[in-house]
Chain A
Amino acid sequence: MEKTIRGKAFVVGNNIDTDQIIPAEHLVYNPSDPEERKMFGRYALCGVPPADSGLPEGNIPFTRENEYKSDYKIVIGGKNFGCGSSREHAPLAMAEAGATVVIAEFFARIFFRNCINGGYLVPYETPESLIEKVATGDDVEVDLQQNRLINHTRGTETRLTPLGDVLPILEAGNVFEYARKAGMLE
């Protein structure tokens, strides 16, 4: 894992469910096929209603039309990010678009687990909501060693909740690498 991750922030609201992260109609693509996998980057977060996409202004797409990669590296949501279905296509789509960190007040369980076990995104929780403290497009930096978010645009710093007992899995890369290191898999 990198020690710091710096990039532009993309801000959304509370209860961003997996249908908003990757609408069900796009689940026909097979993530195991490298060409089809790119399509998930194209449609990542496209189900968020336009007014709520890229807060506070809204009407900002995460991935621009007909592109496969997003300009935003760090996604910031409110409560219960990733609620809804178990589709791993959700963290995969965000990662495929180029996101590396997702920060939320707290996550829905399966989404959180998928981020960790699949090694797609670093899912940081925060003691308080950041969605009104960061604007889409802000230049932000996540310090993974000191568990803080530095907002270079605003000159602010915020604490992130340490990753705790899932950190070894993230550091290993995914649950398979973790299990191999632990001697559980050959």
Chain B
Amino acid sequence: MGMTITEKILAAHAGRDSVQPGENIWVDVDILMTHDVCGPGTIGIFEREFGKDAKVFDPDRVVIIPDHYIFTANEQAHRNIDILRAFVKKHGLKYYYDPDFLKAEGMPSPYADPKRTSYKGVCHIALPEEGHTRPGEILLGTDSHTCTAGAFGQFATGIGNTDAGFVLGTGKTWLKVPPTMRFIFEGELPPYMMAKDMILAIIGDIGVDGATYRAMHFDGDGVARLTMEDRMTLCNMVIEAGGKNGLVTPDELTREYVLERVTRAGTPQAMTFHDNDPDAQFIFEKAYNLDTLEPMVAKPHSPDNKATVSEVKGTKLTRAYIGSCTGGKISDFVAAARLLKGTEVRIPTFVVPASTEVDAALDTEQVDGTPLRKVFQDAGTIIGPASCAACLGGPADTLGRLNKADEVCISATNRNFPGRMGHKQAQVYLASPLTVAASAIRGVITDPRELIGSFV
């Protein structure tokens, strides 16, 4: 019987010719990633179970990327970075991206130059940038959005500290082979739409539990035509439908993108390109036509609380936020800047690049000859340093955190369950960076098509 890409990758890593959905198998893990929030717990479990002097399974396959609670005065958060530093030193880990500006108590001054810091920012964006994502591999990370890397044709999923502690010592884990759901997009993404609208449409259709224990494969011409960053947005939010992993069939675009980054970083270059067999079994299939999809939002307080932007337009907002692993890539800021150029925002608007590479690119990428950073400055937005920042609330002093009950925020991030960005009563509308930018300009939820002049 034919296999899906997910089944092929898992079979290859279990030393098997084939696997079937529902089977529990032990697999070899290629890369294990952790960060400052789950790293200390993972390290504690590793040392408890394997001993203080135990060695990690492979120091070149462990990637540690502090990103969550960096720009805070919280002393435990700082202490957690020190735990990572000590572990990295003890085990001689090569792939650690230290917030080198974090030296003293209190709120740290951010890096002076994003190009001259070892700090990278949000792990899911830093992983591909630093050459740790490759087609055919298994990537596990102590963060639910690890599924982002499915965009590169690999199996990538989030795990807890115990699982990560186990992998750290053995390089192995058990996985239940998921059945695959297939979402086929035909047509071309219109200029007022982004991949965020595509995934919000899917989550709205299948629900926040619609893909529980399943793989989500994004297929069709409409997906093949997407940039790598758009593919990352799709795979990033499979967890919001309960999905185990997301996948896009790797192609020449994937090869070029990955090769450029692994070459730059000096990381392994071997890639394995799998495709779904013609007779592969899918547990669910749904087709979308990109020509007829509309800009989408997820209303408070659930990512599946779907509406078209036109259905909620005019909703009064107190804040707008563009950032995170979902909406903080350079393509997200290019899109936002196309609308923000020459205008001013009416509500506090936060621009938080996911990574220091994205931050640096705000100076090199331009819209009509103006660097993005200047566009955002002129528009009156608040630009923060690269981090997860307010996407998940975090400590009370986190930039952009919704600390008040009456905040109504439109956000390019990924989750809007109660309290996600701070206060339990605060309302969060999830939308594409384009829709967030359009809404920031008007102060109410706004369909980007209303500012269509920018696209002509």
Binding site for B on A (CB under 8 A): 15, 17, 19-20, 23-25, 27-33, 36, 47-49, 79-80, 83-89, 106, 108-110, 113-114, 117-118, 165, 174-176, 179, 184-185
| Distance A80 CA – B242 CA, assembled complex (angstroms) | 8
CA distance A30 to B174 in the complex (A): 26
What are 19 A-B residue pairs whose CB atoms fall within 8 Å in the complex? A25-B394, A27-B69, A28-B69, A30-B76, A49-B425, A80-B242, A83-B208, A85-B144, A86-B144, A88-B162, A106-B212, A110-B144, A110-B159, A113-B159, A118-B160, A165-B24, A179-B170, A184-B170, A185-B170
Complex interface residues of chain B between 141 and 164 (CB less than 8 A to chain A): 141-144, 146, 158-163
Residues of chain A with a CB closer than 8 A to B69's CB: 27-28
- Which residues of B are in contact with A by a Cβ distance under 8 Å? 24, 26, 37-38, 40-41, 43-45, 47-49, 68-69, 74, 76-77, 79-80, 83, 141-144, 146, 158-163, 166, 169-170, 172, 174, 208-209, 212-213, 239, 242, 244, 302, 392-396, 415, 417-420, 424-425
CB pair A108 B40 closer than 8 Å: no
Residues of B within 8 A of A24 (CB): 392-394, 420
Tell me which residues across on chain B come within 8 A of A29, comparing CB atoms.
76
CB distance from B181 to the nearest CB of A (A): 14
Would A19 and B242 count as touching, CB distance under 8 A? no
Of the candidates A19, A36, A176, the one whose C-beta lies within 8 Å of that of B417 is A19
**A15-B417, A19-B419, A84-B417 as given contacts; A109 in contact with B212, CB under 8 Å:** yes
A85 neighbours in B (Cβ, 8 Å)? 143-144, 158, 392
Asked if B37 and A27 sit within 8 Å, CB to CB, the answer is yes
Chain B contacts of A185 at CB under 8 A?
169-170
Contacts of B162 in A (CB 8 A): 88, 114, 117-118, 174-176
Q: Closest CB of chain B to A170's CB: distance in Å?
A: 13
Q: Chain A contacts of B158 at CB under 8 A?
A: 85-86, 110
Q: Identify A17's interface contact among B37, B394, B395, B415, CB under 8 A.
A: B415
A32 and B44 within 8 A (CB)? yes
Highest count of chain A CB atoms <10 Å: which of B160, B161, B212: B160
Q: Which of A28, A86, A118 contacts B77 (CB 8 A)?
A: A28
* Also in contact, A19 and B392, with CB within 8 A (given A80-B212, A117-B166, A175-B162): yes
Are the CB atoms of B209 and A79 closer together than 8 Å? yes
